[in-house]
Structure 1
Amino acid sequence: MTSSADISELVSKRGIIKAKLTRFYNKIKDVSSPSESDVLKFQFQYETLKDLYSSFNDIQNKIEFTDVDHIEKHLDERDAFEGTYAEAVAIGKRLFTECRFEEAQSCSSSADIQIQGLKLPTISLPCFDGSYDKWIEYRDTFASLVHDNPNLPAISKYHYLRNSLRGSASILLQSLEFSAKNYQVAWQLLNDRFHNERLLVHNHVKALFSIDKIAHESFRNIRQLLDTVTKNLAALKSLGEPVEHWDTLIIYLVTSKLDSTTSRQWEEHRTSNKTISLELFTHFLRDRADLLETVTSEQPSIQYTKPTRNIQTKKLISVALNENSTSKSPLTNCPVCHETHPIYFCNKFLGF
């Protein structure tokens, strides 16, 4: 049997839920022209309303079933809560429908640039999944598009940030409350976690030594190799590594990954140059890739059609072979082309 103390506890819990709904309703009811920051806040709170109603309904059912002596009073409480809830939901839907602002919903979110009335192509925000070899590119791109943008409020930056993270990077921020004051905390957490220069250098050097060897000459393979080298060297340079003095090492490393034909072409090319540099080497690889692509695109596509033999032809050949195997008579002239060979050797007869 439920005691009065239990009912009082349920009523207290119901009161807390009612207070949360009332606070949200009072914030949103008189809003007419909210800023993007305000809408983002309201949307985050709006998404919790369903859970709030579900909790209220569970508690209210327990109260109504146990305190039947005051059922009318409790039903009035339900009506009042549901009325406020319905009005809050209606206001929220209207507000979010009227406010057309660009929101980062996924990694495909983008930033538009408007210059003197000319709309430039959109720039996609980066995604980051916690891979060290992708951190520097992600950090620099996100910083230029979002973090260093003075026109974006902190709450918007935090929204973009959370929606651009995946994997271990996303897990890192799960315990942080979604609020404007926590944006700088979140950004610093990411930098402290992933901007480990020792690990970053290690991973970029490892990526250079882990390049797959090219099995056969191909402009796609050469360009992929060149892009991998360029990207990792740029990252190492930004980390303070003296990559400008690594020309001999990098050239040796990359040539060991080339196919035999391209490697031979490079050896012939380098003998005609007095000084060898990484710039000269990369220029050679680009020219080589361009040449291979040009040659590939100019080659005509030749389709080979295998000649077919119909069933009647196969039967005739089979009969002729059987007759020849049992006969010892000399060869006679072919009745089709009049050459001295059996009919089953005749190209005209076979349709070749």
Structure 2
Amino acid sequence: MGKKLKPKIHVRDSIVDFLLRTEKFLNSSQATDELQIQFRLEKLEAKWDEFEEVQCDIEGSEEHEENTEAHRQVRAEFEEKYFEVRAGLVGKLPRRTPAPTQNGSSSEPAGVHTYVRLPQINLPEFDGSFEKWLPFHNTFRALIDSSPELSGIQKFHYLRASLRGDALKLVDSYPMSEANYRVAWNGLVARFSNGYLLKKRHLNAMFEFPKIRKESAAGIHDVIDCFERNTKILDQLGEKTSGWGAMLTHLLVSKLDDVTQKHWEESVSNEVEPSFAILVDFLKKQTRVLDAVSVDQRMTTSSSQAASTGFKSRPAKVSVNSATGNKGPRCASCGDQHSIAQCTAFSKLPVDQRLQLTNSKRLCSNCLGRNHMARDCPSKFRCRTCSKN
């Protein structure tokens, strides 16, 4: 084997090895993960292009002539195995119904289906905050650190791109290289996977949560989210918060407003030892009640404001003003000191001219009042002829 041809054959061998590993994955129990199958398909297609390029170089070399038949045999075997493996991977993906064309037929040939490329998964960012460490650690380890298809230098690039602040300063101290990725990752884990500090910070998040000043659904939602989030993380860190019982319940109650505390004490007066789960369930019911009451109050306020605005220019209001000597509203039609509903000149106008006038003056065509239109008119009275607005 010539010296010039040897490196190319090594590259070709590595591509063949990847194909064999993909075949092993295809026949394993792991070949049910749709995301993994899609990633391997993309990688397999790239390896096909690499194989074609290096194989053409080998076959075009002068040194190729002495082993022509052997190199052709490698190509034939690779192509046969490639199509077999690729078809197997595509066959494990769920079938997608192709979009119909304008004439109603499918846009794909019969018997052919494609895999759908999922949206790109963005890596989480980590800035050195202990409360963000566990989600970052678990996600990065699953997507990048545990991936057998990424080299150490690729993983190092992903790691640096995901870090900010103090965490990035720590990793930046290591030169970018294949070997240094593992050193940098282990250093990051050693720095932030401090169980004692993590537990302390999540405990402090609950102890330092401010007391709710006034009964509100939003305030109760916030305190529930805080306690549920931090107790779940503490459970992941090895603390059995389910055994904290009375202490956790008392801590959560101490963060509630006085009204909610009173409701809670009334609801558990017959309970021997109410649990944390019962308290959380009670608070969630309270938020549903408060949310419903809040909606009703907004609707009532809105209706009252609309009714007040709509009846300001009614005749009863005008007659009171006239009796007390105050100036009443000016007529939008003739300009005299009376409402347009009492205007003789307006009532004598043809219907189309009356509509034109009310539209130009932006008056309600139902009650002739200002500041609203007929569709929003709060008046219960309708046209005596057609019963419409």
TM-score band by shorter chain is: 0.5 to 0.7
Contact 1:212–1:257 (8 Å) recurs in 2? yes
- Residues 1:227 and 2:209 aligned together: no
The residue matched to 2:242 in structure 1 has which SS? helix
Give the partner amino acid of 2:127: D
Q: Which residue pairs with 1:246 in the alignment?
A: 244
Q: Which residue pairs with 1:143 in the alignment?
A: 141
Give the partner amino acid of 2:299: P
- Per-residue CA distance 1:148-188 (angstroms, 9 max, x = gap): 23333333222221111111001101121222222211110
The residue matched to 1:258 in structure 2 has which SS? coil
**Closer, same or farther in 2 for the Cα pair 1:218/1:118, shift >3 Å?**
farther
Q: Which residue pairs with 1:292 in the alignment?
A: 290
- Residues 1:276 and 2:274 aligned together: yes
Gaps of 5+ in 2: 1-10, 16-41, 47-91, 95-114, 310-317, 331-336, 340-368, 370-389
1:175 to 173, 176, 196: 173
TM-score (norm 2): 0.48
Displacement, 1:209?
Answer: 0.8
Give the partner amino acid of 1:176: Y
Greater Cα offset, 263-272 or 172-181: 263-272
Once residues 327 and 259 of structure 2 are traced to their aligned partners in structure 1, the CA distance between those partners, rounded to angstroms, is 43
Once residues 228 and 346 of structure 1 are traced to their aligned partners in structure 2, the CA distance between those partners, rounded to angstroms, is 58
Contact 2:245–2:276 (8 Å) recurs in 1? yes
Q: Which residue pairs with 1:193 in the alignment?
A: 191
The residue correspondences of 1:97-108 to structure 2 (distance < 5 A) are: none
Once residues 278 and 338 of structure 1 are traced to their aligned partners in structure 2, the CA distance between those partners, rounded to angstroms, is 62
Q: Which residue pairs with 2:326 in the alignment?
A: 344
Contact 2:322–2:328 (8 Å) recurs in 1? no
Displacement, 1:122?
Answer: 5.2
**Closer, same or farther in 2 for the Cα pair 1:186/1:261, shift >3 Å?**
same
Contact 2:248–2:276 (8 Å) recurs in 1? yes
The residue matched to 1:169 in structure 2 has which SS? helix
Query: Which one has more relative contact order, counting CA pairs under 8 Å at least 6 apart?
Result: 1
Displacement, 1:225?
Answer: 1.3
The residue matched to 1:144 in structure 2 has which SS? helix
Displacement, 1:237?
Answer: 2.1
Once residues 219 and 124 of structure 1 are traced to their aligned partners in structure 2, the CA distance between those partners, rounded to angstroms, is 33
The residue matched to 1:302 in structure 2 has which SS? helix
Give the partner amino acid of 1:343: G
Displacement, 1:350?
Answer: 11
Percent sequence identity is 33
The residue matched to 1:271 in structure 2 has which SS? coil
The residue correspondences of 1:312-351 to structure 2 (distance < 5 A) are: 337=319, 342-344=324-326
2:207 to 197, 209, 212: 209
Displacement, 1:242?
Answer: 3.3
Give the partner amino acid of 1:240: G
Displacement, 1:123?
Answer: 4.3
Once residues 272 and 122 of structure 2 are traced to their aligned partners in structure 1, the CA distance between those partners, rounded to angstroms, is 44
Q: Which residue pairs with 1:267 in the alignment?
A: 265
Give the partner amino acid of 1:181: A
The residue matched to 1:171 in structure 2 has which SS? helix
1:131 to 126, 129, 135: 129
**Closer, same or farther in 2 for the Cα pair 1:119/1:266, shift >3 Å?**
farther
Give the partner amino acid of 1:284: F
**Closer, same or farther in 2 for the Cα pair 1:347/1:193, shift >3 Å?**
same
1:237 to 235, 238, 248: 235
Aligned-residue RMSD, C-alpha = 3.8
Once residues 117 and 278 of structure 2 are traced to their aligned partners in structure 1, the CA distance between those partners, rounded to angstroms, is 38
- Per-residue CA distance 1:310-351 (angstroms, 9 max, x = gap): xxxxxxxxxxxxxxxxxxxxxxxxxx7489964239899899
Gaps of 5+ in 1: 1-30, 40-113, 308-335
- Per-residue CA distance 1:202-236 (angstroms, 9 max, x = gap): 21111111102222233222222111111211222
The count of residues paired between Structure 1 and Structure 2 equals 220
Once residues 122 and 219 of structure 1 are traced to their aligned partners in structure 2, the CA distance between those partners, rounded to angstroms, is 36
Contact 1:344–1:350 (8 Å) recurs in 2? no
The residue matched to 2:149 in structure 1 has which SS? coil
Greater Cα offset, 120-129 or 250-259: 120-129
**Closer, same or farther in 2 for the Cα pair 1:218/1:123, shift >3 Å?**
farther
Give the partner amino acid of 2:159: L
Displacement, 1:269?
Answer: 2.0
Contact 2:221–2:287 (8 Å) recurs in 1? yes
Once residues 147 and 288 of structure 2 are traced to their aligned partners in structure 1, the CA distance between those partners, rounded to angstroms, is 39
TM-score (norm 1): 0.53
Contact 2:211–2:255 (8 Å) recurs in 1? yes
Once residues 192 and 221 of structure 1 are traced to their aligned partners in structure 2, the CA distance between those partners, rounded to angstroms, is 37
Give the partner amino acid of 2:258: S
Contact 2:321–2:327 (8 Å) recurs in 1? no
Displacement, 1:137?
Answer: 2.3
The residue matched to 1:292 in structure 2 has which SS? helix
